[in-house]
Amino acid sequence: MPDGSSTAHLYRPKLMTALGEGYSLDKLRQDAVAGLTVAVVALPLSMAIAVASGVTPERGLFTAIVGGFLVSALGGSRFQIGGPAGAFIVLVAATVAQLGVNGLLLTVLVSGVMLTLVGATGLGSLIRYMPHPVTVGFTCGIAVTIFASQITDLFGLTLAGPEPGPLLAKLIVLGRALPTLNWAALGVGAGTAAIIFAVRQWRPTWPGMLIAIAIASVVALVLQLPVETIGTRFGEIPHSLPAPQVPDISYDLLLKVLPAAFSFTLLGGVESLLSAKVADSMTGRRHRSNMELVAQGIANIASALFGGISVTGTIARTATNIRAGGRSPLSGMLHSVYLLLFMLVAAPLARYIPLAALSGVLVVVCWYMAEKEEFVRVVKDWRSGVVLVPTFALTIFKDLTFGIVAGCILAVVFARLGNPQKPEDA
């Protein structure tokens, strides 16, 4: 079986390659099953990420449907699954708070253009050399920040004012709100996380997140628990995709979104190529990095036009696709079709999902996102540690872009001092 190495440099979607090799009914069946498996995982996760990002839950579904379809159809990986990612929660939430939803959509659109240009000019290969301590540092930092952002809904806290963005200020405000703790919400959130962990331990092939969300929703409804749900906060989920619409654009707003768009582009490029690299290691294939970035860019542009948030390749859903037997990009395309069918048929059921349950889902995401063992291993080498620790700390206390840039500079300095860091071959 060819591994794609001889054509890895071409700007050719892997879908064309897969179909050109011959596509049988048996492969379609395997792709259909894998796509359904991924959709079951993506359904609660897409809504949870959207809510945590400060937007309505349907925007997460729009992202997975539109963006996910295009990532698979146009991408440089056979197995990549695109959609909203937990790594973007902090960036999206900060952008919404500062610029509003229209500003967010314009940011996503501009970052899509940037990603397309990075891939089209062949610069995507540079992202392959992101130092490993930097990737571990900012990934762990993002996990900590996301967990902190879920404390309010997980504990059912009532805040006296808006929740601060910076971590230390946030923790002070949350500490003051502890007397308002809602034990029912905490029970639902902790129970959701516990079910997911248990299913992963004893029945790893079962859709733990969907099972946990369903149980939490039924328990909250039957017992009439005093917990906030998607319906009480956001109302009904739409039954279909909205008509595409260009965000309002002005020169002043464009200047304001550029820094955030750069951050989205940087994180999107790194995250998507890391995910593609994981797929390569699991399958023995090789992705086309620049084609992948072009696809990610086009997917982000389309997501913004349909009211979605940022799109990137997602490691957990991509790995799920491979383990479920996905054979070609059609599995990722079908996962988006299944999500669209959910919106068309079963969207009203989403109103009963407790927000604390969605927070429980993201607690699990944070646990697996934080590369705890790898953090300890890397930090034991002091040369790697002086890159990893500042990256981690600056990601938490400053922002993601600052942490990545500072980490890369430190890595370059140590490389020039004769202590080269091993690059992450994404």
pLDDT tens, residue by residue, 373-417: 989 999 888 888 889 999 999 988 887 778 888 888 888 887 666
* 43 phi, psi to nearest 5 deg: -60, -60
**Cβ atoms 223, 69 nearer than 8 A:** no
Q: Show the domain range for 283.
A: 12-416
- Please check whether residue 98 lies inside any domain of the structure: yes
Dist. CA 66–CA 46, nearest whole Å: 12
- Please check whether residue 6 lies inside any domain of the structure: no
pLDDT at 311: 96
- Please check whether residue 321 lies inside any domain of the structure: yes
pLDDT at 426: 37
The region of weakest confidence among 123-132, 142-151, 186-195, 216-225 is 123-132
> What percent of the chain has pLDDT above 90?
54
- Please check whether residue 335 lies inside any domain of the structure: yes
- Please check whether residue 48 lies inside any domain of the structure: yes
Quick: pLDDT tens for 41-89: 899 999 999 998 999 999 999 999 999 999 999 999 999 999 999 889 8
pLDDT bucket at 279, cuts 50 / 70 / 90: confident
- Please check whether residue 223 lies inside any domain of the structure: yes
pLDDT at 63: 97
- Please check whether residue 423 lies inside any domain of the structure: no
- Please check whether residue 1 lies inside any domain of the structure: no
Looking at the structure of the chain, the number of domains it has is: 1
